[in-house]
Structures are given as C-alpha cells and as structure tokens.
Chain A
Amino acid sequence: MRYDAIVIGGGHNGLTCAAYLAKAGRKTLVLERRHVLGGAAVTEEVFPGYKFSVCSYVVSLLRPEIIRDLDLPAHGLELLPLDGTLTPMLNGDYLWRMNDHNKSRREIARHSRKDADAYDDYGMAMVEMGRFAKPILSMTPPDPMSLDPRGLLDLLSVGKRFRGMRYHDKVNQVQLLTMSAVDFLDQWFETDALKATMSASGIIGTFLGVRSPGTAYVLLHHYMGEIDGAFRSWGLSRGGTGAVSNAIAGAARRFGAEIRTEAPVAHILMKNGRATGVALENGDEIQADIVVSSVDPRLTFERFMNTKDLPDDFVQGVKRYKYRGSSGKVNLALDALPDFTCLPGPGEHLRGAISISPSVDYMERAYDEAKHGAFSSRPYIDIVIPTLSDASLAPPGKHVMSCFVQYAPYHLKPGDMWDDARREAFGDAVIDAIAVHAPNIRNIIRHRQVLTPLDIERTFGLSEGNIFQGELSLEQLFFLRPVPGWAQYATPIDKLYMCGSATHPGGGIMGAPGKNAAEKILKDAKR
C-alpha cells in the first residue's frame, strides 16, 4: 500500500493537515501513537464515569475558516460559550468580568471608575490589534534572508498595513510585540486583580513572568479568540476538547483519509536525501510521496531521524529551540461544586473561568519560584467546571473540574526531580491555593489526576511538557519558528514537512499550522 502523504501524529494539527490534503484528493494516512486521537486536544474517561479534557480544555482560537472548510459542526463539533472570568481577591472581594462588555464595565467600576473608562479604550485597541494580527496567522512566514519576491511582498504588505494604522494602534502593536504584559496593562489600568488576571493570558505556556518583556504578545495570542463576537469567544466543546479532534478526524475520513491509532512511528524512511515513508515500531514500513510531521522538532529530527542526515546548522537550530514546559494540569472529579467565600453558593459565576490570580505580585512570585527551579507554592490557576455546561461529562450531580496550573517547571533545580512524591506535593499546593478562596474544595474531591510537565511529555509526546511545542517567545516566532530559515513548513529533507504547533503561528487549538502546512504542501506539489 502506498500513500500520497503520511501525517505523523493525530493531534488536532495533524488531523487538520490530513483533512485538507485528503480534501485536495491526496491519499492520506494519519499515524497516532496512542489509542485515542487528539494529541493534547483529547477527552478521556480518566476515572469511571468522569470524562476530562485531560490537557487543553478551552477552545477559542480554532480558525473559523477551518470550521467552515471542514464543515466541523456536521461532524459533531458544538461549541458552548464559556461566559466570564471570576477572580477571587485577597481582600475577600471578587472581580467578575463577563462577555457582556457593559456588565464588565460596571463590575470594574466597582473597583475603579478610571479603569472602567479605560476598559472601553483597551477593548477597542485590542480589537484593532487582533484585526492587524489575524491575517498574519494564516500567512506562510516569509524568509527575510531569501530573495523570493513573494515573501518580500508579504512582508511589505504587513509593513503597509502597519503604516495605515492610527497612531495609538501603531504604538500598541509594537508594544505588544515587545513589552511585558504588566507594563502594557499598566498604561490603562490600576486595579491590581484586573491587571493580574488579564496579564495571566500573557504567560500561559511560556516560561516567563507577567513582568517579563515579550509576554504582551502572548496576551494578544490569547485575545485573538475573544474578538470575533460572542460565539467564537472562549468556549468549551461539547464532549470535551477531544470532540474537536474527533470532528476534524471525521471530516478527514469523510474526505478519504485513513487514520490509525496505536501505530507509533519508529523512524522516518529516507532514500537519496528525501523522505520516502515511515517505519512503525512494530517493524512495518509504509511508503509515501511525502511525510508530514505534526510532532515537535525534537521528536521529528532527533528521534525519528538520524541528525547526521541533516545539515549541521539546522541541527543546531533544532537543539537550540526552547521548550521549557512550565505548566501542569490538575483534573478533579468532584462530589459537589466548590463554594467560594467571596461569592458563596452555586451560580452563574462558576460557569465561566475562575482565575486564581489575585495580584500582580502573586503572579510574579509564582514565576520567581519556578525560575529558580521549584514549582510555585502559590500558583496561578485557571479553573473551569465544564460539567456546568455539559452534564454528560460526569455522573448525575457530580462534576469535573479542570485546573490549568502555572508554574511547574520541567527543569527543577539540581538534585530535584519530578517523582511521585513531588507530583503529589504539587497537587497539594494547587488544592491549597484553591482552598484559600474555596475552603470546601478539600472535602468534595473524589478523584484527583495531577499532570506535571514530565507527565505531559511522557503521555502526550510534547517535549519538556511544553503545551505549545516550544515557547512562544519573540525569537521563536514567525520566520524564526521553529528554526530560522525553516519557517515555511518545509525541512532540509525533500518531501518532509512540519505541521505542528512548533510551526507558525504556534499553539492553542487553532489548527492554523496544520492548514497552512497543507496549503504549502499542495502549492509545492504544483511546481
């Protein structure tokens, strides 16, 4: 059996790439190592009766054109709005922002009238920023060192659009690329909890603190989802994030792609300097015209290939590429709902995100601990209780709660390692940090799953547990992602491509790398 294309890895980007290739008539095979599809966008019944979006847990960045092109709703995708963010504060009060701008404004005014006014300006500024950045997401990054006129024209068009922006928007745009999230927000706001919660978007998946330059960009990366109006704002997928992957897989199959699970790849086959297929761990060899890897560069080039077959400077670039996972995940099966002292009882406030980010200092101290090689004793936690929107995930009356936690550094200080004891200690720190605001949490936990970056690496194949397949830091973005000179989904090996989050525009359940890569592959084939 011979295929036009083999996609390594059945995560959402691999599946997206396969779906587009199949749609274009290519005979495509997807190979997934695990028994479930989805990579980090996966739903699993971790405890009997309790289904978790084990890794990534919210959906917002998924490109609308992908939903359309692949007709994902027909394959079971249903997005449920996730309304609002509740931040319990240290003084016993709370800050509860909602999708309804006016409600949020009134709530912010309770804390600072000045901030309420600034919230309007800020919201409008971010809409403009998103409008500028969006076309860049679907662009194959031009190579500034090549003379390819098309790439240079792309760059020029970005420059031209930049020039066309209003004064403040121009400044904001540059600031977003370079400033720290807190410095950026400081220009508008004074309420500590508001800045802390907003700046949290700037650190997700990075090994940076809210005061580190460069985090404002990640803020925008996460803001992108919020700007297209309510439906595509932050949401949950019915059935968990695995349902997103399954919908894309359904579309891919419908276009004729073949998908195999429990088919771990051992290495990429090469002949005369070009990729010719893959060998599976069970010894099977499968031939294909092209091979597309959706796994990260470390696995692709250092595990599935012999680096001797690659140019030295490329290998150096692959080795230099930074992962440095910084986040963990705690999934809880609950007998009842948590009860927050700032806003007691059940209610709408539990249906959105609950952010444990009471102050900028709290966030920064959490980072300082991680920077010096320990998990945060008082971490930042982003909590979602999906059963409030989708009761099918747990037995009647019970709940599942997803806690995204930062920081849990992959690299601990010399002498320390992630073992079972430390994993549980990390889990305890998370529960303690939640209990500060919702003391009943300790009494309602039926089951607890704790994932450290090492667990994430082992289970999901994300090197160093980085949820974005490599840091979203400025020197690893756009035409520098993942390796300078190789940002256009191609690799130094003929017929071998990359399509994972390690390629432009990066991570999150966005699908853009998979789609961009498929387009690049199809374009190359025409040459």
Chain B
Amino acid sequence: MSATLVIGGGVNGLVCATLLARAGRRVTLLEQRDAVGGAAITRELTTGFRVPAAAHDVGPLRADVARDLNLNTHGLEFVPREAWMTALDGHGHAVTLWHDVAKTRASLAQFSQADADRWPAFVDARAKLGRVVASILPHTPPSIDSPAPRELWRLLQTARQFRALGAADGYRLLRWGPMPVADLVAEHVETPSVAAALAADGVFGAMLGPWSAGSGLLFLLHAANQCAGDPRLVWPRGGPGALTAALVRAAEQAGVTIRTGARVAEVLSDNTGTRGVRLADGTTVDGTTIVSGIDPKTTYALCDPMTLPSEVRWRARNYRTAGTLAKVNLALSALPVVPGADREQLATRIRMAADVDAMERAFDHVKYGAFSPSPWLEALIPSLGDPSLAPPGAHVMSIYAQYAPHTLREGTWETARAPFLAAVLETLDRFMPGVRSLIVEAEVLTPADLEREWGMAGGHIHHGELALDQLFTMRPLLNWSQYRTPVKGLWLCSAGTHPGLGLTGGSGANAAREILARG
C-alpha cells in the first residue's frame, strides 16, 4: 500500500493522520520543528515556569473528535473552567461572565440591572444561533456547481434548522453575520467593559476592529464552537502541550510515523498526481497521498506552479493572511493584584478594555503598519488552576495582544520588539497595578515570529482571515473547499479549511473523512 504523508504536526495534522492510520493507511507525519503540536505546545519560559507558548486555550475540542480518538484514555484531562471570561475596565471594576446564567446575572447586576435583565435572552439567542451554525461545522462544504444528492440533503437539513428558528431568530442570524460586532453587542449590553470583552470574540486574531462590518460573523463562529464541544473544557492539565501529548499517543498507537525536523520544501507531482515531497535537506519522501496541515497559502506555494490553474494561483496569492495578534508570555514572582477581582474571577481569560472605542483605537494603528501603543489584551493565568506550571507561590501569565502587524511600515521588529513589549506591559499595568514589578521573565512573539517559528503565512493564527468570502464553500478557495486541491493526491486539512477557528480538530477530522471517502 502506498504511503500517505501529512505535512505539519499541528492539532489538525495529528487528528487527520491518526484517523487515516486508523483506517489502514500507512501514514508518515512530517514536522519542520523539533516537536509536534503546532500552536498547542507548553514550553519552559525560564527555569520552573512553563507557559502555553502560542495558543493559551484549546478548542473546545469537537465532541466527536475527542470521542473518536479516545483522548481521555491517552492521558488527556481537563481542568474545568466555570468562568467564561472576566472583563476589566481599568478602574477597579471586574465583571465575570460565567457559564452559569444566574451567576452571571448577579455579577452584571452590580453594574447594570438592565444588562442583568437582558442577559438570559442574549445568551439564549447566541446559543440558538450558535447551534444552527454549529450544525454545518462537521460537514464538508457542498459543491456549488454540482452538489451531490447527499450534499443537497444536508443543505436542506440546515435550511430546515434555520427555519425552525422562527422569524425573529432567523432574521437575527441574517443580521448578526454581516454586522459590526460593536453594534451587535450594543443591542444587548450597556456596561462598557463587558461590551468590549464580548466584542473581542468578533475581532480575535483578525484584521478587524469592533466597528468593522463582518466582525459579527466571528462572534457567531465562536458561539458555534462553544456549542460543538464543552466550553468549560479548554485547559488541558499541563497546558495545550498535554493535548498534543495525548494526540501523539493516539497517533502512535494508530501506527503513524512521526518525523520531526523535516521541513517540506516542495510537493512533487507529475501529470498523474503527487509522488511525494522534497525536504529542505534535499532528500525526498515518497507518497501518493499528501495531506497538508499547514496553511493553504504556504501549501499552494510548495506546489509546482505549472500544476495549478492560473485562477487558483491568483486566488491563492490573494488569500488574506495578515496576522494582527501577538503573544506575550510572562513568568511572575507572585499573583498580580487585580482590583475588584478575586482569585476565582482571575482563573479564566481576562479581557482588558475600558470600552469598545478603546479596542477600535487599538485597531487603528495596524491599518497603517504600526503596533498599538495601547493594545487590547487578553490574559490567562493558567497557574491558578494548574499549579504545576510555576514554582509555589509564583505564576505564569499568557497574553494575547492585539494589534501588531506582521510587517511594520517603519523599522523592523528587531528594534520594535522592546517598545512593543513596553506598550503591552504599560497597558497591562493599568489593569493590574504593579504587575511589572513581578516579572521574572518575558517573551514576545509577533506575527512575524509566529510565521517564522510556526510557519503560518502572515502569522495569522487562523491560517487565513475568517471573513465571509473566505469561509465555508470559499475556504480557502471556491471550488477547492472540499479539502481537495487541483493537484491530484494533494489534500488540505488545516485551519485554513472549513471549519477552522480554534484548536478543535474539526478541519483535520473533516478532511480525513473526505480523503477516506474519495482519496
């Protein structure tokens, strides 16, 4: 039996490789770095301090993926998180949104009775719409030109689910997608810091500000993800690397051969299809099926251009991958003081913005190729729920900082890294006074670093902008959204395919199913 090669050992690559091997394929996974895991890794920042290097939450894993791979038998254990997020306004107020509705209402009522009153209806609507969107996540996007009867049937099912929403929610779904998330949230929430924290779902990792049209869609996709898995299970004990460790055990048990330090330089193909890959060291690896777990833009760039139709070359080149999210990891000598928030409220993602306007101002700079002097921040202190990450009494903090461009218009990241870190820390200090004095060690990963170290084009954490024109049947490209490519034998399984977004394993699982059915 001929070999199947999976390029890239991120979560989707591992999931796809494992499912293919389980079905009897002979699978070799090629990872360019010295360890697999992609964005899901835990690593030592300095002696005794371990941080989620890139992503600081996983998934939630899609329920079917976790089940099919028996990840719990491979040592994966989650530290459940009851708080969804905590919003800080920088003036000593903290509002925590819990997965529990009643608890959230109590929390909101301290700041706005109106918000408390409207909350149940809002989360209910969000969940209802999220479920409809979630229903399309596990399926391969249909073909537009010649949909198979199966695909039509599924579309009909989705249409029926949509209509079952009733007029009010149906229209809501149609309105929410294209809306600016700022408007969407403002219809339901008035407390400025809470509105900003919720709106963050709509701009996370994207070249969008909360006033940008289309950010409502990202908000909906996050809602859908939360419906497709358990939203409380986003922190594996030991960090995202523990998920990778479990996935590796599952892969090895299924018979996948994992090769690290193997960077693919070219996909080899002739007129009958793919033959294998050439590695950066010049050696070749044979394989007739090649599945790419790296982003579509980079994948297409690995192909012989002559094998791609001109329209695919052009569209792939124009596929938008401008990253805006930077990562800052801190080792702290003690738990920072956060006015207004207790320990329990801090044991979740902490979103920091006084209001939506502050986020929009942070966004303004990236349009002109500069980083925000006062960026929007989401911090996680994972050592609160998982003390193994830091020495006793000490903590680690993982921060998503937006906005930072992949390419600076003036200067380079070499010289800008320090001022950017200073901007992040200065901003952080406004929400957590004195935090700077606790820092033992700090590291910054800009979108340029994410691209260089992890290989994603533009440093875009979603492997391509999540916009209406790059989703579903158009992710990554129209006619090539069914995990296939114009190169026979070459498949895509990364977050740059439907459904993408978050370390859910969804793209990898969908791709494996498609490859087994048609490949």
Contact = CB atoms under 8 A, between A and B. Distances in A.
Interface of A: 144-145, 162-163, 167-168, 170-171, 174-175, 177-179, 183, 186-187, 208, 211-214, 313, 320, 322, 361, 364, 368, 371-372, 473-475, 479-480, 484-485
B367 interface: yes
Most buried by A among B176, B177, B178, B479: B178
A168 B311 contact: yes
Given A178-B468, A484-B174, A212 B213 contact: yes
A179 B367 contact: no
Contacts of B216: 475
B212 interface: yes
B175 A475 contact: yes
Contact of B145 (A163, A183, A187): A163
Given A174-B474, A212-B211, 5 more contacts: A213-B213, A371-B360, A473-B179, A480-B175, A484-B175
Contacts of A175: 469
A183 B367 CA distance: 12
Contacts of A178: 178, 214, 467-469
B469 A475 contact: no
Interface in B155-211: 163, 166-168, 170-171, 174-179, 183, 187, 208, 211
16 contacts: A145-B167, A167-B478, A171-B315, A171-B474, A171-B477, A177-B468, A178-B178, A178-B214, A183-B320, A187-B318, A208-B213, A214-B214, A368-B364, A474-B214, A484-B174, A485-B167
Contact of B170 (A145, A167, A364): A145
B368 interface: yes
B416 interface: no
Interface in B452-508: 467-469, 474, 477-479
The winner among B175, B213, B320, B468 for most chain A CB atoms within 10 A is: B213
B175 to A, nearest CB: 4
A361 B175 CA distance: 30
A171 B145 CA distance: 13
B163 A214 contact: no
Contacts of A211: 367
Interface in B121-169: 144-145, 163, 166-168
Contact of B178 (A144, A145, A372, A475): A475
B357 interface: yes
A475 B179 contact: yes
B183 A322 contact: yes
Contacts of A371: 211, 360
A468 B474 CA distance: 31
Nearest to A316: B187
B65 to A, nearest CB: 29
A213 B212 contact: yes
B159 to A, nearest CB: 9
Contacts of A208: 213
A409 B78 CA distance: 49
B361 interface: yes
B210 to A, nearest CB: 11
Nearest to B178: A474
B174 A174 contact: no
A364 B367 contact: yes
A492 B174 CA distance: 21
Nearest to A413: B357
A163 B214 contact: no
Q: Which of A174, A177, A372 has the most CB of B within 10 A?
A: A174
B468 A174 contact: yes
Given A163-B144, A178-B214, A144 B174 contact: yes
A179 B467 contact: yes
B416 to A, nearest CB: 19
B478 A171 contact: yes
A312 to B, nearest CB: 11
B171 A145 contact: yes
Contacts of B367: 211, 364
Interface string B338-364: 000000000000000000010011001
Contacts of A212: 211-213
B318 A174 contact: no
B254 to A, nearest CB: 38
Nearest to B465: A183
A484 B214 contact: no
B467 A473 contact: no
A490 to B, nearest CB: 15
Nearest to B159: A144
A415 to B, nearest CB: 14
A179 B367 CA distance: 15
A113 B361 CA distance: 37
Given A167-B311, A213-B214, A371-B360, A174 B478 contact: yes
A409 to B, nearest CB: 12
A435 B306 CA distance: 52
Contacts of A320: 187
A322 B178 CA distance: 14
Among A186, A320, A361, A475, residue most surrounded by chain B Cβ atoms (within 10 Å): A475
A3 B167 CA distance: 35
Nearest to A484: B171
Nearest to A164: B145
A473 B311 contact: no
Given A144-B170, A178-B469, A361 B368 contact: yes
A175 B467 CA distance: 10
A370 to B, nearest CB: 11
Nearest to B214: A213
Nearest to B320: A183
- Among B166, B187, B368, find the residue whose CB has the most chain A CB atoms closer than 10 A: B368
B364 to A, nearest CB: 5
Contact of A313 (B168, B178, B320): B168
A349 B188 CA distance: 51
Contacts of B176: 475
B123 to A, nearest CB: 19
Contacts of B144: 162-163, 170
A175 B470 CA distance: 9
Nearest to A159: B144
Nearest to B309: A167
A355 B311 CA distance: 33
Interface string B267-278: 000000000000
A247 B23 CA distance: 74
A473 B174 contact: no
Contacts of B163: 145
A478 to B, nearest CB: 10
Contacts of B314: 187
A364 B212 CA distance: 13
Nearest to B165: A145
Nearest to B365: A368
B454 to A, nearest CB: 24
A155 to B, nearest CB: 11
Give me the 8 closest cross-chain CB pairs, A-B, nearest first. Answer: A474-B178, A484-B171, A214-B213, A178-B468, A213-B214, A475-B175, A178-B469, A145-B167
A350 B144 CA distance: 47
Contacts of A186: 318
A453 B517 CA distance: 59
Contacts of B467: 178-179, 213
Nearest to B162: A144
B167 A179 contact: no
B53 to A, nearest CB: 31
A175 B314 CA distance: 14
A148 to B, nearest CB: 13
Contacts of A144: 170, 174
Interface string B295-322: 0000000000000000100110010100
A361 B361 CA distance: 16
B119 to A, nearest CB: 18
Contacts of A313: 168
Nearest to B317: A187
Give the interface centre of A174, A178, A361, A372 by most chain B CB atoms within 10 Å.
A178
Nearest to B146: A163
Contacts of A372: 357, 360-361
